[in-house]
Amino acid sequence: MSKIVSITICCWLASSVHADEVSIAVAANFQQPMQQIARAFEQTSGHRVIISTGATGKLYAQIVNGAPFEVLLAADNETPERLEKEGLAEPGRRFTYAIGRLILWSAKPNGVDTKGEILRTGDFQHLAVANPKLAPYGRAAMETLQALGIANQFTDRSVTGESIAQTHQFIATGNADLGFVAMSQVYEQGKLVSGSAWLVPDNLHHPIRQDAVLLKKGNDRPAAKALLQYLRADAARKIISSYGYSW
């Protein structure tokens, strides 16, 4: 066996020994950015990322009931803090990985005007909103409607999604004419991918501060810690900002 081949095999064995995998729970709004970040992280680190997505409230319930997640990327900052207090997350490892933007979106090109006036005119059949008890973006949507003084006008015309992903699906399939979704679901590289939208002003709802935290099950997993570190690196932040998030 040549010296070059021997060195190659040794390097491969070394990387295989150190390769690890990390199971992460990701808020539904961050699914697309996280998939892109995971691919880049896997190529850079050699680790493998296993992604599960859902409403933050539902992911919290799964973690409390023993789900084998090692990292949580929530759509709020309250849930990771709560997990710390309950002893299910490592203290001092929580940080904000993104600040989200809320969008009123329709799959139709002229379904939503750029100032959101359609909410006042009521010229639509159904409005989709994520469950505010489970999804922070749903909570922000309800805060927006309350700030506009029209929260009670759509009780008989609202369609509730379990998560922001299901809410987006309702609108995309025409089961709702319009609805509140995350900017990251309909924007890419700063451009609206399809349909029409109103970017909800930040002063109409509380900031959607999305925190990441290392869960207790990931405390002894190198890949979990490496992923959290990678989320704060320039490569990951470039991807995050391309979907409309800030931090």
125/66 same-domain check: no
152/129 same-domain check: yes
As a whole number of angstroms, the longest Cα–Cα distance in the chain is 78
Q: Taking 80 as the threshold, does the pLDDT of residue 1 lie above it? A: no
Does an H or E element contain 3, and which?
helix 3-18
Q: Taking 90 as the threshold, does the pLDDT of residue 100 lie above it? A: yes
Q: Taking 50 as the threshold, does the pLDDT of residue 75 lie above it? A: yes
36/83 same-domain check: yes
The pLDDT value given to residue 130: 97
The pLDDT value given to residue 18: 64
The pLDDT value given to residue 168: 97
2-49 pLDDT, tens digit per residue, is 444 443 333 433 344 467 999 999 999 999 999 999 999 999 999 999
Q: How many C-beta atoms surround the C-beta of residue 16 within 10 A?
A: 9
Give the Cα separation of 88 and 91 in Å (integer).
Answer: 9
121/160 same-domain check: yes
The pLDDT value given to residue 3: 44
Residue 67's domain comprises 3-99+208-242
8/88 same-domain check: yes
In eight-state DSSP terms, residue 70 is S
| Residue 155 pLDDT class (50, 70, 90 cuts) | confident
Dihedrals phi, psi of 72, to nearest 5 degrees: -120, 130
Dihedrals phi, psi of 106, to nearest 5 degrees: -130, 145
Q: In what order do the strands lie in the sheet containing 178-182?
A: 158-161, 127-130, 178-182, 102-106, 196-199
Give the Cα separation of 7 and 4 in Å (integer).
Answer: 5
- CATH code of residue 25: 3.40.190.10
Q: Name the domain count of the chain.
A: 2
The pLDDT value given to residue 57: 95
Q: Please report, rounded to a whole number, the percentage of residues in the chain having pLDDT higher than 90.
A: 87
Judge whether 247 lies within some domain: no
Dihedrals phi, psi of 114, to nearest 5 degrees: -75, -5
Joined tokens for residue 205: 């709802």
Provide the mean pLDDT of the chain: 92
Q: Taking 50 as the threshold, does the pLDDT of residue 107 lie above it? A: yes
91/158 same-domain check: no
End-to-end CA distance of the chain: 52
**158 pairs with which residues across the strands?**
127
- Give the mean model confidence (pLDDT) for residues 214-237: 97
Joined tokens for residue 224: 């979990």
168-197 pLDDT, tens digit per residue, is 999 999 999 999 999 999 998 888 999 999
Q: Of the ranges 77-86, 140-149, 189-198, 205-214, which one carries the lowest mean pLDDT score?
A: 189-198
Burial (CB count <10 Å: 0-12, 13-18, 19+), residue 11: exposed
CB 135 within 8 A of CB 179: no
214/193 same-domain check: no
Q: Could you tell me the pTM of the whole model?
A: 0.87
Judge whether 134 lies within some domain: yes
Going by C-alpha positions, the residue among 196, 150, 147 that lies closest to residue 171 is 196
